[in-house]
Amino acid sequence: MIQLTFHREAVCMGDDAQNGTYHIEMPDDADLGDLMDVILHGGRGNDWPIPFTGAHSYWVIESNIGDLANIWTDGAGYWHTGYIQFNSRTPLKSLGITSTFGRRK
C-alpha cells in the first residue's frame, strides 16, 4: 500500500472546521491518474474532495515533490485535469509522493 496525506485550502469560513489532513491509502499499482481521481471525487480515506466553486474553478495539486496537476472546470461545469511534470499513467510508487495539497489558483 502507498500511504500519503491530503489537505486542501478552505474555500469559505468554516469549510475546514471539522476537516483537516486526510490519510489516503492507494494500492501498489496505482498511478497518478488514480490519485487525481481520489482527490477530485473523494474515496480511499478522503471524503473532502476538491469542491466545485462555480464555473471556471481552478486548483493546483501540489506535493512534496512539486506541482502535480492543474484541475479546473470549464463554463459548462465539467472537470479537466492537466498534468504538469508526469503523465496520468506514471506509477505512484516511482514518484515518492508522501503529501499533497489542493490550492486554488
* Residue 15: inside a domain: no
What tens digit of pLDDT does each residue of 9-46 get? 877 766 666 667 889 999 999 999 999 999 998 888 88
Q: Report yes or no on 46 lying in a domain.
A: yes
Q: What's the domain range around 68?
A: 2-9+22-104
Going 73 to 78 to 84 to 24, the CA torsion angle's sign is positive
| Per-chain mean pLDDT for the chain | 88
Domain presence at residue 49: yes
99 found inside a domain: yes
Spatial neighbors of 63 by CB under 8 A, at least 6 apart, are: 97, 98, 99, 100, 101
Number of compact structural domains in the chain: 1
pTM: 0.89
Please give the pLDDT value at position 65.
96
Residue 61, in any domain of the structure = yes
Residue 81 has pLDDT above 90, yes or no: yes
DSSP symbol at 5? E
